[in-house]
Amino acid sequence: SAITHNTYKLFRANKEVGELYENALNIYTDMTDIENDLTTAFRRTKYFLPHLPTPRVYCHVSGLNQSLIVGEEFISLSIDNYLGSNFPLYEKIGIYKYQRPNMRREKVAPDYITAWISSEISSSLADNLLSDMIRHGKILYTVSVLMPDTKERVIMGYSEEQWDWVKKNEANMWNTLIASKDLYTTSMMIKNQYVGEGPFTKPFTQESPGRAGAWLGWQIVESYMHNNPQISIQQLLQQPDAQTILNNSNYRP
C-alpha cells in the first residue's frame, strides 16, 4: 500500500536508521560465535524436543523497534538492538538505563532461542500470576538445557550483582509473594509488576532486579524437574496446569 511504502521511504531516509544499519553491518560482519551457539542449541533440541522443526534464522534492522519476529519455522532478530550496552545512540534516543546492559552481543543467541521456545508455549490473558511465572520458568529452564555453555544469568538477562541478589533473597521473595496473596491474581497490572520488564520488581524491593517473579518461576520448574526425573522436557512444556507443577515441585526455598 502507498502508506506502507511512504513509511518505508521515511524509515530508509532517516539518518539514525542509516547509522544503525551501518553499525549493525560492521559489528556483525562475522557471526560465527552466534552460529555455533545456535547450532549447539538446535542439535540439543533434536534430542530433547524432537517434535520441533529447526527454524531458519535471520537478522533485520528495525530502527530499534520490533525486536523479534517468530513466524512459521523462522525467527528474525532486530540486530540493531544488540550493538553494545554503551552504543551512544541508545542513550541519546532515551532507551532506559536498565534495558541497555542487555543490548549486547552475548544476548543474541539466547534471545533467539528464548523467543523460539516462547512461541511454542501458549499463554492466556486470563491466566493467574502463578501460570505466568511457571510459563516463564518453563522457557528459562528449557533454554538453559538447550544452551548449557551460556551462563544462566545471561539467559535471564541479569548482571552478576542481580544474579547474586536473587540467589540470596529467594526465600524472602517467595515469602513476600505468599504473604501478599498475589499468587492467584489475574490482574494484568499486578502480574506485570512481578514478571514484566522494569528497573526492579515492585512488590519486592528497589534493590531487586526486574522480572524476579519469572526467576522464581524458573526455580520452581527446576525443582519440579529435579524431583520428577521421569518427566521429559516435552512433557514439561505440554503440562498445562501450573498448580500441578508447583504441587509436585517440592519447592522449598
Lowest-confidence segment of 4-8, 37-41, 101-105, 174-178 by average pLDDT: 4-8
| Average pLDDT of the residues in 143-166 | 97
pLDDT attached to residue 13: 57
- Are 173 and 160 in contact by the 8 Å Cβ rule? The answer is no
pTM given for the model = 0.91
pLDDT attached to residue 125: 66
Tens digits of residue pLDDT in 189-235: 999 999 999 999 999 999 999 999 999 999 999 999 999 999 999 99
Give the pLDDT band of residue 11 (cuts 50, 70, 90).
Answer: low
Tens digits of residue pLDDT in 48-76: 999 999 999 999 988 887 688 888 889 99
Q: How far apart are CA 103 and CA 110, in angstroms?
A: 12
- Are 103 and 77 in contact by the 8 Å Cβ rule? The answer is no
Any residues with CB less than 8 A from the CB of 153 and at least 6 apart, and which?
Answer: 159, 160, 162, 163
| Percentage of the chain modeled with pLDDT above 90 | 77
Tens digits of residue pLDDT in 20-50: 888 899 999 999 999 999 999 999 999 999 9
Nearest to 225 by CA among 88, 85, 52, 48: 48
Confidence check: pLDDT of 12 > 60:
no
Sign of the four-CA dihedral 130, 134, 135, 140: positive
Any residues with CB less than 8 A from the CB of 205 and at least 6 apart, and which?
Answer: none
3-class DSSP state of 248: coil
Lowest-confidence segment of 73-82, 93-102, 122-131, 231-240 by average pLDDT: 122-131
Give the pLDDT band of residue 179 (cuts 50, 70, 90).
Answer: very high
pLDDT attached to residue 61: 87
